[in-house]
Amino acid sequence: MNRIRSTAIAAALLLSAGCSVMPEAPEVVALPQVRSFSSHPEGESLPPGWQPWVLSRFKRSTAYKLVNEQGRTVVRARAESSASGLIHPLKLDPQTYPVLHWHWKVEDLIQKADNTQKHLEDSPVRLVVSFGGDMDKLNIHDRMFFDNVRLLTGQQMPYATLMYIWENRAPRDTVIDNRHTSRIKMIVAESGRDRIGSWQEVTRNIVEDYKRAFGEYPGPVTAVGIMTDTDNTGDNAHAWYGDIAFHKNTLPTP
């Protein structure tokens, strides 16, 4: 009974932290590829396939808007002690499309953020990928945690989640464990201040990253999301996201 109660408390704390719970798939049609930002006009509306990702009704939402940046439409994120994101459901085979490619830019880092500490778990940019899988394979702790999240939010957590983040100190390629469930892993895609203020191109092999993080091959990709969050540190952050795409083993020629 104490373990069940502690798991419920952990779920509530994770939700109040507002940084890690991604729904399995919103109630919209899952697409075989990610709709681009650059093909959509700037303004408040989102490209088809994208929708707001609300983490908790108790949290202030980060502001997202399509803007023109160097002649191309991108997403601008402004977080002020806030945490929310944008999510795009998918139905994609990672074995066929293992290469994830995107661009992002941050105005500055979040000075107090440290994703190895749960009370400081913020990032100016996050790119989040969720995966399907056999829920019967979850261990008892994860199963109880998933059940409590579903009871608290009405949302089913995905079988596994990878979060690519920009960290202050942890070296690039570091895998950071979630403190409450083994089914969420953060991977440091960028670290430190050297590249702030300019657009960065990032390419990751999600099959290799998943195997390194979870010790198994991934199931289908069920969603991709972006999130800029400062709810734990209470700070402000400005960031931009460019197009996100999954490719086969090689990237297309620009």
Q: Which domains does the chain show, CATH number per domain?
A: 2-247 (2.60.120.260)
Closest CA to 36 of 115, 103, 112: 103
Q: What is the pLDDT of residue 196?
A: 97
Q: Can you tell me whether residue 99 is helix, strand or coil?
A: strand
Picking from 162, 242, 251, the residue whose alpha carbon sits closest to that of residue 206 is 162
Cα–Cα distance, 50 to 86 (Å, whole number)? 6
Q: So what's the pLDDT on residue 33?
A: 84
Instruction: Number of helices (H) and strands (E) in the chain: give both, helices first.
Output: 3, 12
Which residues are CB-contacts of 194 (< 8 A; sequence separation ≥ 6)? none
pLDDT at 18 (0 to 100): 44
Put simply, whether the predicted model's pTM sits higher than 0.85 gets the answer yes
Query: Average pLDDT of each block of 10 consecutive residues along the chain (254 residues)?
Result: 43 46 53 87 92 85 96 97 94 94 97 91 96 95 90 85 96 93 96 96 97 97 96 96 91 55
Model pLDDT, residue 13? 42
Q: How far apart are CA 93 and CA 242, in angstroms?
A: 22
Burial class (CB in 10 A: 0-12, 13-18, 19+), 29: exposed
72-80 and 236-247: which strand pairing? antiparallel
CB-based burial of residue 151 (10 Å sphere; 0-12 exposed, 13-18 middle, 19+ buried)? exposed
184 burial level (CB within 10 Å; 0-12, 13-18, 19+): buried
Distance CA 197, CA 227 (A): 18
